[in-house]
């Protein structure tokens, strides 16, 4: 889990009431953070990756104030109108490299402006966000700049390395971007995210003063925030729009929790980058259905109790049809669905072992009947002499494209192209197995029972998990009849009558595929794999695939038993 070092003195200065070490431990017990160690004034705190807001003094103080009911409800910063010229103009040249940008301005609540401690906390939290949410600055990086020393508008563009000149934040003399990228250790580590050939990403004001070379380093002149600054420009650039928005939402908490006011900064440019800036400062609404809360907590809650608990979690809730509508601040990107909100309601109320709270579980004390049904399917396939592989839920984009699997869910920001698509059929994984085992002899016969992800408009996430059983038969003389016989064998084992009808299926030969229906519902697909697919995989022999939807079949067989 991510770990941060916080100052106990600065934390207590933000709290509306004194808090002893024992009370701190008790309140953290119900959170997703844990005090690992205390050395003098230093608190070494770890938190789960979805609660990064707890790893700053400002964020932890906000949570503790709510959990102790010293200050509750949504933390709402004062919004100031912005100057018309204070905007960021995004040039189309950045699109292939790092297209997303968001920005805002924060204003100090007093004339003294920024203090050294808050600046140090902001920089420390900024680096933590780079390493976690920003994925080492690839998905998102952050910058803090003094508005007083800038001449807006700000321009974000891809410029020639030789033409860009600036004094690096840790330097004393002006250098070209070409020299910086060749010699500076930060450029060696992060330069690949901000450079394309002989050009690099640049943030500069209207006078040409360089703020930074995203995502590598700020400049010393226009890009160095200092104690006493009264207005700061916060910006984030990156390859992931969501990471950029979430990172900026989290960083502002350092200032908002100390009474700084905010101003949205419009972003002008290509359609993908265009924004009025309000998306990173305004709360958003998430619904919490009462049925979801009841299912997760295992008990009924009064409306007043739910609203009080959500206020303790520093959220704002009001009754809504079937539950509550909850306002969520920008520094809580983890709250996306009603399930997330229900978790906050349960945790903030305090869950301890001595309470004996047993969350509802359909598998308590025995295997679920549906699980036993899947186990029976595995045994039947094993009895048919088929080897059982173990394949991941994620497959590569190449095999999804080969199968023309347009219905499969794609990941927006995959770690690797080899694990970028959630399979909607076991067929995709089994074709990858065939492609990896061309050095072995034939026939190859294997089968598996496993989960797939299919689109479902009725599901909260837009997709649902189902279980399939699939077999792949590859060898000389293998044909459609072999796959059809396997499906018939399995259905007869469950005493199920079916109807088979011709169908055009992904990755199969036209006229050599079929769907199998039971009571009008599709429960299986079978077909010969198309030679073009086999050639692309390097498989030299014919192959036949058969796949059953065990989730659909279980619903039908259970209904039949009930009737």
**CATH classification of the domain holding 121:** 3.50.40.10
What is the pLDDT, as a whole number, of residue 352?
57
What is the pLDDT, as a whole number, of residue 25?
78
Q: Which two tokens stand for residue 324?
A: 């509550």
Q: Which two tokens stand for residue 69?
A: 């009911």
244 falls in which pLDDT band (50, 70, 90)?
very high
166 & 230 share domain: yes
**CATH classification of the domain holding 546:** 3.30.930.10
Task: Quote the domain boundaries for residue 423.
Answer: 369-562
What is the pLDDT, as a whole number, of residue 562?
46
Domain membership of residue 357 (yes or no) is no
Q: Which two tokens stand for residue 325?
A: 């509508």
Window from 64-73, 119-128, 241-250 with minimum mean pLDDT: 64-73
Domain membership of residue 79 (yes or no) is no
What is the pLDDT, as a whole number, of residue 563?
45
Tally of domains within the chain: 4
248 falls in which pLDDT band (50, 70, 90)?
very high
Domain membership of residue 525 (yes or no) is yes
CA-only gyration radius of the chain, Å: 29
Using the Cα atoms of residue 363, residue 368, residue 374 and residue 379 in order, give the sign of their dihedral.
positive
290 & 257 share domain: no
Closest CA to 143 of 157, 129, 162: 129
303 & 240 share domain: no
18 & 151 share domain: no
299 falls in which pLDDT band (50, 70, 90)?
confident
425 & 542 share domain: yes
- For the chain, give the mean pLDDT: 91
Q: Which two tokens stand for residue 269?
A: 């440019």
The domain boundary, picked from 348, 377, 400, lies at: 348
Does pTM surpass 0.85? Answer: no
Helix or strand run (H / E) with residue 195:
strand 195-196
pLDDT over 70, % of the chain: 96
pLDDT at residue 561 greater than cutoff 70? no
129 & 30 share domain: no
Q: DSSP for 10-41?
A: HHHHH-SS---HHHHHHHHHTSSEEEEEEETT
What is the per-residue pLDDT across 481-506, written as a single tens digit (0 to 9) for each? 999 999 999 999 998 889 999 999 98
408 & 487 share domain: yes
The domain boundary, picked from 348, 378, 404, lies at: 348
529 & 475 share domain: yes
What is the per-residue pLDDT across 325-350, written as a single tens digit (0 to 9) for each? 999 999 999 999 999 999 999 988 87
Domain membership of residue 73 (yes or no) is no
- Within 8 A by CB and 6+ apart from 4, the residues are 44, 45, 46, 47, 55, 56, 124, 125, 128
Domain membership of residue 392 (yes or no) is yes
217 & 95 share domain: yes
The domain boundary, picked from 280, 299, 318, lies at: 280
pLDDT at residue 140 greater than cutoff 80? yes
CA–CA separation, 539 and 505 (whole Å): 20
Domain membership of residue 162 (yes or no) is yes
**CATH classification of the domain holding 307:** 3.30.56.10
271 & 339 share domain: no
352-358, long-range: CB within 8 Å, 24+ apart, which pairs? 352/29, 357/298, 358/298
461 & 531 share domain: yes
181 & 219 share domain: yes
CA–CA separation, 166 and 216 (whole Å): 13
Domain membership of residue 311 (yes or no) is yes
What is the per-residue pLDDT across 444-460, written as a single tens digit (0 to 9) for each? 999 999 999 999 888 88
What is the per-residue pLDDT across 35-71, written as a single tens digit (0 to 9) for each? 888 888 898 999 999 999 999 999 999 999 999 899 9
Domain membership of residue 82 (yes or no) is no
Judged by DSSP in three states, 387 sits in: strand
pLDDT at residue 362 greater than cutoff 70? no
Query: How many residues can be counted in the chain?
Result: 563
């Amino acid at each position: 889990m991510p770990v941060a070092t916080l100052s106990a003195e600065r934390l207590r200065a933000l709290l509306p009431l004194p808090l002893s070490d024992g009370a701190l431990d008790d309140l953290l017990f119900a959170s997703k953070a844990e005090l690992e160690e205390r050395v003098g004034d230093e608190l070494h705190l770890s938190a789960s990756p979805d609660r990064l807001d707890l790893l700053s003094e400002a964020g932890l103080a906000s949570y503790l104030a709510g959990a102790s009911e010293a200050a509750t409800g949504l933390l709402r910063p004062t919004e100031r109108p912005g100057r018309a010229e204070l905007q960021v103009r995004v040039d189309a040249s950045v699109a292939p490299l790092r297209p997303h940008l968001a920005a805002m301005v924060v204003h100090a609540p007093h004339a003294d402006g920024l203090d050294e401690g808050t600046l140090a906390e902001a920089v420390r939290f900024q680096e933590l966000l780079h390493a976690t949410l920003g994925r080492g600055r690839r998905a998102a990086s952050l910058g803090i700049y003094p508005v007083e020393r800038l001449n807006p508008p700000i321009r974000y563009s891809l410029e020639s390395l030789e033409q860009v000149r600036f004094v690096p934040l840790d330097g004393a003399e002006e250098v070209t971007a070409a020299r910086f990228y060749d010699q500076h250790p930060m450029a060696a580590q992060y330069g690949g995210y901000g450079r394309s050939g002989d050009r690099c990403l640049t943030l500069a004001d209207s006078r040409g003063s360089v703020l930074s070379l995203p995502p590598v380093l700020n400049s010393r002149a226009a890009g160095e925030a200092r104690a006493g600054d009264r207005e700061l420009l916060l910006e984030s650039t990156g390859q992931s729009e969501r990471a950029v928005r979430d990172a900026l939402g989290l960083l502002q908490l350092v200032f908002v929790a100390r009474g700084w006011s905010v101003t949205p900064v419009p972003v002008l440019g290509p359609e993908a980058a265009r924004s009025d800036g309000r998306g990173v400062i305004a709360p958003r609404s998430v619904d919490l259905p009462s049925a979801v809360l009841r299912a997760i907590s295992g008990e009924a809650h009064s409306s007043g109790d739910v609203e009080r608990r959500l206020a303790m979690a520093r959220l704002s809730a009001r009754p809504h049809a079937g539950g509550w509508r909850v306002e969520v601040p920008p520094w809580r990107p983890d709250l996306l669905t009603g399930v997330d909100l229900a978790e906050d309601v349960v945790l903030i109320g305090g869950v301890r072992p001595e309470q004996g709270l047993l969350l509802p579980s359909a598998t308590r004390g025995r295997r679920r009947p549906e699980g036993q049904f899947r186990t029976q399917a595995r045994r039947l396939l094993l009895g048919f002499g088929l080897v059982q592989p173990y394949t991941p839920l994620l497959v590569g984009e190449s095999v999804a494209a080969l199968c023309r699997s347009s219905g499969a869910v794609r990941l927006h920001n995959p770690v690797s192209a080899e694990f970028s698509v959630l399979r909607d059929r076991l067929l995709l994984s089994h074709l990858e197995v065939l492609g990896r085992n061309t050095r072995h002899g034939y026939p190859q016969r294997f089968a598996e029972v496993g989960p797939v992800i299919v689109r479902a408009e009725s599901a909260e996430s837009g997709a649902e998990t189902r279980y399939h059983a699939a077999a792949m038969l590859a060898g000389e003389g293998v044909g459609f009849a072999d796959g059809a016989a396997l499906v018939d064998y399995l259905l007869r084992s469950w005493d199920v009558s079916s109807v088979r009808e011709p169908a055009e299926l992904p990755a199969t030969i036209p006229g050599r595929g079929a769907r199998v229906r039971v009571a009008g519902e599709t429960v299986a697909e079978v077909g010969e794999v198309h030679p073009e697919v086999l050639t692309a995989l390097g498989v030299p022999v014919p192959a036949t695939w058969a796949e059953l939807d065990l989730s659909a079949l279980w619903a039908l067989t259970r209904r039949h038993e009930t009737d």
